Amino acid sequence: MILHIDMDAFFASIEQAINPKLKGKPLIVGSRQNKMHTVVCAASYEAKALGIDSGMPSADAFRICPNLEFVPAEQSKYIWTSEQICKILEDFGYQICYASIDEFQMDIAGLEQPLNLAKNIQDKIYKAFGITASIGIAKNCLLAKLGSKINKPRGITIINEQNLDDILFKTPVKKLRGVGQKFGLVLDNLGIKTCLDLYQKTPYFMKRNFGQNGVNFYEELHANDRFQIQERPDKPKSIGHSYTLPRASRNPEFIKAWVRLLAEMVAKRLREANLVSRTVHLWLNGPEIGNFGAQKTFCEPNNDGVEIYRRCLKVMAKSGSKRLKIRALGVSCSGLLENQYYAPLFREQRKGESLIKAMDKINDRLGQNTIFPAVVFLTQRMQ
């Protein structure tokens, strides 16, 4: 069984929790300071009730609701909250999958009373951050994610053998992850309107109409998922972070600022684990490039965010273009080694090391991202 946690209106809910004056009001989070010339990154449930949702031009949102509250996005704040939620989930002792910044999955195979666990998770997250989560529980990741969407906000949906057909019959097929606009149109033309219509198709039907991708989708929909059970190693094989942008961007400085932020986050985790890395992997996704991933191994292991960022830029050069349109990106480090400390020989190296230690000390004491590289501000202001 898989338990899928989906945070409710994540960015907007965080802003409302931080500023109680915003609670109960229609609110949008935008990606720029100019509230009339941006795109809605997130909308509160009060705004959603008026027909406002993410991806909508902010000017259209203000036409619907002139008194709409607006808050500029602060991505580092949302990423930090996401990481803290993940730590709360790890304390329950189950295998965790970090699905995205606002979604997490947990392998709860063998648990007889998953409803109690789901309520406990919701309560702990709300107590810690004042924000809510919806939870779906099912035999596989695809159905569990579907369940988390059914009773928002702060809903819990368990999909089992007894209610599977009834729930899938009532749910439009477009609600399934992986059924986009084009795929949905093809399914509609084949008379497949509900999730149950698709669930009842045979592998032969899926292969005849969609090829191997159809077979893969069938298997994902019918699977009994288990996460690979791992003994907690003393040293992880890799450490990484990824992020999906509110919309695709072609601005190279904006993209590089995000690479820098992710590199800093990875570097901080390396230092916390007393590890250094020799191999840097960069992942980019966009409408023109598709999925691009490349890595490079360096002679000198490192856990400095600036150096990891520089190495990422060298990997990025392999993509062959300076103005790619990017929708999502990720930075990870592998080839991990225990950090065997040797005092730096050169003055500049000693200064850099002192700066890193000072930043870590301040952030550990006052909160993550209390102090950070100024270039990270571009993740909030430029697209």
Closest CA relative to residue 251, chosen from 159, 324, 348: 324
Indicate the burial class of 124 (C-beta count within 10 angstroms; 0-12, 13-18, 19 or more): middle
Instruction: Characterize the bridge pairing of strands 40-43 and 69-72.
Output: unpaired
Known catalytic residues? 103
**216: Cβ–Cβ under 8 A, 6 or more apart, which residues?**
none
Closest CA relative to residue 29, chosen from 72, 79, 61, 78: 72
Q: How far apart are CA 113 and CA 108, in angstroms?
A: 10
3-class SS at 154? coil
**268: Cβ–Cβ under 8 A, 6 or more apart, which residues?**
305, 360, 363, 368
**The dihedral formed by the CA atoms of 203, 206, 211 and 214, expressed in degrees to the nearest 10:** -90
Which residue do the tokens 């988390």 mark? 148
**Alpha carbon 214 to its chain's center:** 26
